[in-house]
Amino acid sequence: MKLATWNVNSLKIRLQHLTDWLHSAQPDVVCLQELKLEDVKFPRDELAAVGYASVFSGQKTYNGVAILARSPLNDVQMGIPAFVHEHKRVIAATVDGVRVICLYAPNGQAVGSEKYVYKLQWYAALREWLKDELTRHHQLAVLGDLNIAPEDRDVHDPKLWEGQTHVSEPERAEFRALLDLGLKDSFRLFEQAEKSFSWWDYRMVAFRRNAGLRIDFILLSEALAARCTSCAIDKAPRKLERPSDHTPVVVELS
DNA sequence: ATGGCGCGCGCAGCGCGA
């Protein structure tokens, strides 16, 4: 079973990239973020035509999350139950016995800003919810754009980023709190190249300079981590014309 | 190196992302 996450930065613009990638990568489950479209505009039929069922929670212009799967998606839940908010950042569903949670974490804008405070509140609510979810679902995967670079090795230039959002200590503490629930960062279960990133700024030819961050993750419960045989970042879609600024992360489970 | 990009909205230029 192959699970993937990809922040597409507008599904409307990236639909062709997505369907091409589904064809070449052959994932069983894909979590998408930053759809930037209303549910009535979600390309359900186009995705069904290439073999994927979908559940989605979108809104105009901002945010928006979806799960695609080749098997039926059951017990769909949108949002964090105890954190009611208009932002569409969370969707969950069960596929082939695996509880799949798709997340688009708040950006946080700048340390100390209102949006930063909201980001930390969102993470506090997420942590409590996932703690509960892990008692209900043995086989649980959390996939998405978490907007935190957990360690300095996940940052192209830690000195440049020092004290910025995505790397601040309270954000990193929230990431570690997810690991403390028993979730594993699947990427770090395996040997990886140095300077492996999942996002690169559109500006300053950042991709060519590999000036990126690793902020997209697949976290696995212990039962799923035991089944995990690989985790990789697929940089190919970032090299296309008009790419998303993020690229897919993929795990394989036995 | 402090923004140069790319998106949505909507028709000019701004908010936002990370």
Note the pLDDT of residue A177: 98
Residues 6+ apart with CB under 8 A from A12: A36, A37, A41
CA of A62 to C1' of B5 (A): 17
Q: To the nearest 10°, the Cα dihedral for A174, A179, A183, A189?
A: 120
Mean pLDDT of A239-250: 96
Note the pLDDT of residue A71: 98
- For A240, the 3-state DSSP assignment is coil
CA of A228 to C1' of B15 (A): 40
Nearest to A144 by CA among A101, A173, A183, A108: A101
Q: Which residues of A are catalytic?
A: 104, 145
**Footprint of strand B, using CB within 7 A?**
A 7, 9-10, 12-13, 34, 36-37, 60-62, 106-107, 109-110, 115, 145, 147, 157, 160, 165-166, 199, 201-204, 206, 209, 211, 213, 215, 242, 245-246
H helices then E strands: how many in chain A? Answer: 6, 14
Q: Which nucleotides of B are covered by protein (CB under 7 A)?
A: 1-9, 15-18
Percent of chain A with pLDDT over 90: 98
Q: Which nucleotide is nearest to A203 (CA to C1')?
A: B5
Q: To the nearest 10°, the Cα dihedral for A91, A100, A185, A235?
A: -80
Nearest to A7 by CA among A195, A236, A216: A216
Q: How far is CA A134 from CA A128, A131, A172, A243, in A?
A: 10, 5, 21, 35
Q: Which nucleotide is nearest to A204 (CA to C1')?
A: B4
pLDDT of A128 strictly over 90: yes
- Look over chain A and give the mean of its residue pLDDT values, rounded to a whole number: 97
pLDDT of A130 strictly over 90: yes
Q: For the segment A34-92, what is each residue's pLDDT rounded down to a tens digit? A: 999 999 999 999 999 999 999 999 999 999 999 999 999 999 999 999 998 889 999 99
Structure-token match 């599904």, residue found: A11
Residue type, A169: E
- Tell me the residue ranges of DSSP E strands in chain A: 2-7, 29-33, 53-57, 65-69, 74-78, 90-95, 98-104, 140-145, 184-185, 199-200, 212-213, 216-220, 228-233, 249-253
What residue is closest to B3 (Cα–C1')? A203
pLDDT of A150 strictly over 90: yes
Separation CA A102–CA A173 (nearest Å): 21
Note the pLDDT of residue A88: 97
Note the pLDDT of residue A151: 97
CA of A38 to C1' of B8 (A): 12
CA of A61 to C1' of B9 (A): 8
Q: How far is CA A146 from CA A73, A98, A182, A229, A237, in A?
A: 23, 20, 17, 22, 20
Taking the whole predicted model, whether its pTM rises above 0.95 is answered as yes
Residue A251 · residue A219 · CB < 8 Å: no
Token pair in block for residue A87:
């932002």
Q: For the segment A155-210, what is each residue's pLDDT rounded down to a tens digit? A: 999 999 998 999 999 999 999 999 999 999 999 999 999 999 999 999 989 999 99
Residue A174 · residue A127 · CB < 8 Å: yes
pLDDT of A234 strictly over 90: yes
* Strands A29-33 and A249-253, sheet pairing: unpaired
